[in-house]
A and B are shown apart, each in its own frame.
Chain A
């Protein structure tokens, strides 16, 4: 069955450093991969989408990579700030159908001042 794994433990990063979050998937051949941010008690917020033919995508301080051979996506936040503290969810997506997204459990990121 499809499986998505994200860092199970909370990730503590010092302010100003780069935070790197991992998303691994198995039994999947996604054409796209999406990343979301979720704050406590709120709905997820879409951040970035990367396609299988894109190795890297950037948006301001965010960078996402997508390695279909390793079946892995990395999500980087550079110059991290305490306001970046949240849970980050990845969602590999096959596309083209009526399937909703399948999310990983998420990584809880804590940026310490």
Chain B
């Protein structure tokens, strides 16, 4: 049991809508990363938050945004949903800072379907 939780489990939206996904990190972890995983693919890095600041971002457009709260939980927001946004969205927590090797502890994911 990793301790990382995500909500909701499943979500269905229509094109053009906005969605917010939530993640609670594992106790003691100060870094949260979000990944998008399409069917048959490996997870793709969206962005990372460290102590409430975005400090790394993958190749995703600005309509993907996020927040990290003082308790290190996090939100992923996606605006103007497109059909290609349909995927499993994974949140991963880790212990950031120097001397750590970025082992990621993943949550179960949120399955987003865009119609």
Asked whether A and B interact, the reply is yes
A interface list, Cβ under 8 A from B = 4, 32, 34, 36, 41-46, 49, 89, 93, 95-106
B interface list, Cβ under 8 A from A = 2, 4, 33, 35, 40-48, 50, 55-56, 58, 88, 90, 92, 98, 101-109, 111
A49 & B103 in contact (Cβ 8 Å cutoff): yes
Shortest CB-to-CB span from A52 to chain B, Å, is 12
Q: Cβ of A105: which chain B residues have Cβ within 8 Å of it?
A: 40-42
B41 & A93 in contact (Cβ 8 Å cutoff): no
A89 & B42 in contact (Cβ 8 Å cutoff): yes
Could you tell me the distance between the alpha carbons of A105 and B38 in the complex, rounded to whole angstroms?
A: 10
Q: Cβ of A43: which chain B residues have Cβ within 8 Å of it?
A: 2, 4, 90, 92, 106-109
A98 & B56 in contact (Cβ 8 Å cutoff): yes
Given A43-B4, A43-B109, A45-B2: A100 and B103 interface contact (C-beta under 8 Å): no
